[in-house]
């Protein structure tokens, strides 16, 4: 539905522009109301535009790594941009320019979420994002970053839909779900996935997309879902999947 609405909006915009004889570039037409980059970014740059780029390529840090969202375009960011470019068949030079931005615009929606995930599915607990272990604003921002990692994971798994069963939880929601004290669900970083692809396919591929907390089949209480989240220290355990 999100993609259909975008296509309809683009059609209307292009139609109206044609009337006045203006040609719209792909970048302008697809930028939506989210964020637009105004310069090419490469190593050595810093600023809010770098931060926004890092959020969108955070799912491409490499095996076992997690990309720092710090607004500084260093070697790790360049490598993540290059992997993003390779994943989508772009010229892979690690420099973010119009081609890279156009692909990001095509992937993002008006609220800055990636095309295949929504805030609603990342928060089935309450509408305010409150009651967790961080502020509501931080929890929502963490969920946005997690969704962009999910988008990368989804693409790597052949663009097959990923079904979330749980995301952000308040303390009350976490207790009701039997979640662990100090769970990453309380911060908005964690996601539980069900359905297909298989849990083992999910947890094995998640190791390449910025998820340093991965629990799955064989770990107590995780035979019926895959749990993935970001955190500073690595913890991977899915014995039935060889992890």
| Tokens 């535009």, residue located | 49
Confidence class for position 32, pLDDT limits 50, 70, 90: low
209 in active site: no
Asked if residues 57 and 67 have their Cβ atoms less than 8 Å apart, the reply is yes
CA distance 193 to 221: 13
- The Cα–Cα gap between 238 and 219 comes to 6
Question: Do residues 61 and 210 touch, judged by C-beta distance below 8 A?
Answer: yes
Dihedral of alpha carbons 39, 43, 45, 47, sign: positive
Across the range 35-57, mean pLDDT stands at: 97
Residue 18 pLDDT greater than 80, yes or no: no
Angle, CA of 102, 107 and 108, to the nearest 5°? 100
The pLDDT value given to residue 33: 79
Contact 211, 149 (CB under 8 A): yes
Q: What's the start-to-end Cα distance of the chain, in Å?
A: 36
Residues 172-230 have pLDDT tens digits of 999 999 999 999 999 999 999 999 999 999 999 999 999 999 999 999 999 999 999 99
Evaluate if pTM is beyond 0.75: yes
131: left (phi over 0), alpha (psi -120 to 50) or beta: left
What order do you get walking across the sheet with 163-166 strand by strand?
163-166, 191-194, 226-229, 213-215, 235-237
How high is the pLDDT of residue 231? 87
Q: Which of the following is catalytic: 209, 222, 225, 227?
A: 222
* pLDDT, tens digit (0-9, with 9 covering 90-100), for 147-184: 999 999 999 999 999 999 999 999 999 999 999 999 99
pLDDT in tens, 87-107: 999 999 999 999 999 999 999
User: DSSP of 103-160, one letter per residue?
Assistant: HHHHHB-TTS-BTT--HHHH--S-SS--SSSS-HHHHHHHHHHHHHHHHHHHHHTTS-
Angle at 229 between CA 63 and CA 194, to 5 degrees: 105
pLDDT at 8 over 50: no
Percent residues over pLDDT 90 in the chain: 85
Q: Does residue 27 register a pLDDT over 90?
A: no
Closest CA to 41 of 85, 1, 8: 85
Using the predicted structure, report yes or no on whether residue 21 has a pLDDT greater than 70. no
């Amino acid at each position: 539905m999100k993609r259909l609405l975008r296509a309809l909006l683009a059609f209307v915009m292009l139609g109206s522009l044609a009337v006045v004889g203006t040609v719209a570039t792909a970048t302008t037409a697809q930028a939506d109301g989210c964020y637009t980059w105004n310069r090419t970014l490469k190593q050595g740059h810093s600023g809010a535009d770098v931060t926004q780029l890092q959020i969108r390529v955070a799912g491409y840090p490499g095996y076992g790594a997690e990309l720092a969202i710090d607004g500084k375009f260093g070697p790790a960011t360049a490598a993540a941009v290059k992997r993003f470019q390779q994943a989508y068949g772009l010229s892979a030079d690690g420099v973010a320019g119009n081609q890279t931005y156009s692909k990001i615009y095509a992937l993002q929606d008006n609220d800055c979420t990636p095309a295949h995930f929504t805030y609603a599915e990342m928060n089935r607990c309450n509408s305010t994002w409150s009651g967790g272990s961080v502020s509501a604003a931080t929890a929502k921002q963490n969920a946005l970053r997690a969704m962009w990692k999910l988008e990368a994971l989804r693409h790597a798994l052949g663009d097959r839909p990923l079904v979330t069963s749980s995301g952000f939880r308040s303390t009350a929601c976490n207790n009701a779900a039997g979640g662990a004290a100090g769970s990453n669900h309380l911060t908005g970083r964690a996601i539980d996935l069900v359905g297909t692809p298989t849990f083992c396919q999910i947890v094995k591929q998640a190791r390449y997309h910025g998820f340093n907390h991965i629990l799955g089949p064989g770990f107590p209480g995780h035979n019926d879902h895959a749990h993935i989240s970001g955190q500073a220290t690595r913890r991977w355990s899915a014995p039935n999947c060889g992890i």
